[in-house]
Amino acid sequence: MNLNTQFIDKVAIGLSSLCLAHCLIFPIMAAVLPSLIASGLTSESFHLWMVICVVPSSIFALTLGCKKHAKISVAVIGLLGLSLLLLTLILGHDILGEYGEKLLTFIGAILIAFAHIKNYKLCQQQESCECDGAHS
């Protein structure tokens, strides 16, 4: 695994974790720190910007990883998580309600983080494997 793949997986894991933390912590912080709401960083705008960052970095990292380790299931899990985030963004708070929106975002972020962690580990195993050199 080259340095770029490792870095992108770590960035995608971090973004997914940030999204998850936002969903769990933001309501508490908003109640405690009203200045956060005044800053314009509403739940909807934060969700939009997170999806804008998470989708391309996740697709890129998972694609690179799957080319290396050939485990399509990792990409499928990641794409399922991304689909949930996009669906949540499209349907929004009005259709899903507060809890539905948080639940779908939570599940999507967990799936994406799991896929990136699995992708990272599989790529590391591929790098440490001496199998390729044995056939040369």
Predicted confidence at residue 37, as pLDDT, reads: 52
Give the integer Cα–Cα distance in Å for 128 and 134. 13
| Domain ranges for the chain | 3-126
Angle separating helix axes 72-128 and 3-32, nearest 10 degrees: 120
Whole-prediction pTM: 0.67
Per-residue confidence (pLDDT) for residue 94, from 0 to 100: 86
Instruction: Supply φ then ψ for residue 4, to 5 degrees.
Output: -65, -45
* pLDDT in single tens digits along all 136 residues of the chain: 566 667 877 787 777 777 666 565 555 555 554 555 555 555 667 778 778 888 888 888 888 888 888 899 999 999 999 999 899 989 987 899 888 988 998 899 889 889 988 888 888 887 665 555 444 3
pLDDT of residue 43: 61
In order, the DSSP letters of 42-110 are -HHHHHHHHHHHHHHHHHHHHHHHHHHH--HHHHHHHHHHHHHHHHHHHHHHHHHHHHHHHHHHHHHHH
- How far, rounded to the nearest angstrom, does the alpha carbon of residue 64 sit from its chain's CA centroid? 15
